[in-house]
Amino acid sequence: MANLKEIRNRISSVSSTMQITSAMKMVSAAKLKKAQDAITAMRPYANKMTELLQSLSATLDADSGSKFADQREVNKVLVVAINSNRGLCGAFNSNIIKQGVRLTNETYANQEVSYVAIGKKANDALSKVGTVVSNNSNVYDDLTFDNVAEIAESLMQQFVEGDFDKIVLVYNKFKNAATQIVMTEQFLPIVPASDETNVNLDYIFEPSKAGIVEALIPKSLKTQLFKAIRDSFASEHGARMTAMHKATDNATELRDQLKLTYNKARQAAITNEILEIVGGAEALNN
């Protein structure tokens, strides 16, 4: 009977786990809809801003003074790793951490690499392998453009002051609930548009070219960072919903197997008791 008790305890434990994973799946599904709508609505604007930024930077001359387009020798690199504050979302967090480490060990092996963590998981992991300049995990408490703009301003200031020669973003781009694409995107210096995408572009600058540069470029950079964080936020909920769905399915399958094992063991125990009773009755008759 002790064996039956152990099986019952396991069935109870698995059932409790299944209820938790099912609840987390539903919560993530509800949050995913809102996050997906937000990034879907933002992408056209952000992409157009990036296109304008690249086109404008391609027309800049030395006198225009774009401090954000300064292409200098790369000695110090800052990797902005964007992930989440919580786990239970499959490989969502580990993919970003692996990419950050890969950039350090391979792409920028000859440069000094530091990190900015946006998300507690990135801070915890990357602080063990390198220098984390700042941790901005609290941005998810109130994910607004203004809060993200403060982070972007800090990054721009560090680039202008020469603390870093290159800043790259590493984040998960949302494709659908089951698929997230790891992106490595240059933030600073600004990447000029290629000649093919900048053909026959004749801009009229009003009020002035310098004024446009001063206003548009910082806003575009803030929008680029906000889009990356929004993409990561939607990807997190998609990854968690998928992971919890699989966990619920696995828990359901395990519970069913345990119930079958329990019924077989119970049937065997009842059969043994009947055999003992019959055997005792036969002994009395003899």
Active site residues: 89
pLDDT given at position 49:
82
Q: How far is CA 42 from CA 46, 111, 188, in A?
A: 6, 34, 21
pLDDT given at position 65:
47
Domain boundaries, the chain: 21-243
Q: Are 216 and 53 in contact (CB under 8 A)?
A: yes
pLDDT given at position 199:
46
Q: Rounded distance, CA 60 to CA 259, Å?
A: 71
Place of tokens 């403060």: 150
pTM across the whole model: 0.85
Q: Are 230 and 39 in contact (CB under 8 A)?
A: yes
Q: Rounded distance, CA 283 to CA 267, Å?
A: 24
pLDDT given at position 116:
96
Q: How many CB atoms lie within 10 A of CB 188?
A: 24
pLDDT in tens, the chain (286 residues): 458 888 899 999 999 999 999 999 999 999 999 999 999 999 999 888 877 777 766 665 544 446 888 888 999 999 999 999 998 998 999 999 999 999 999 999 999 999 999 999 999 999 998 899 999 999 999 999 999 999 999 999 999 999 999 999 999 999 988 899 999 999 998 876 665 554 455 667 777 766 777 778 888 899 999 999 999 999 999 999 999 999 999 999 999 999 999 998 888 888 888 888 888 877 777 6
Beta-strand relationship, 76-82 and 166-176: parallel
196-200 long-range CB contacts below 8 Å, 24 or more apart?
197/51, 197/54, 197/55, 198/54, 198/55, 198/58
Residue 117: what are its φ and ψ, rounded to 5°?
-100, 125
Please list the alpha-helical segments (H only) found in the chain.
2-58, 92-102, 120-126, 145-160, 209-285
pLDDT given at position 207:
73
Q: Are 133 and 78 in contact (CB under 8 A)?
A: yes
For residue 215, the Cα-to-chain-centroid distance in whole angstroms is 30
Q: Are 232 and 172 in contact (CB under 8 A)?
A: yes
| Architecture per CATH, 21-243 | 3-Layer(aba) Sandwich (3.40)
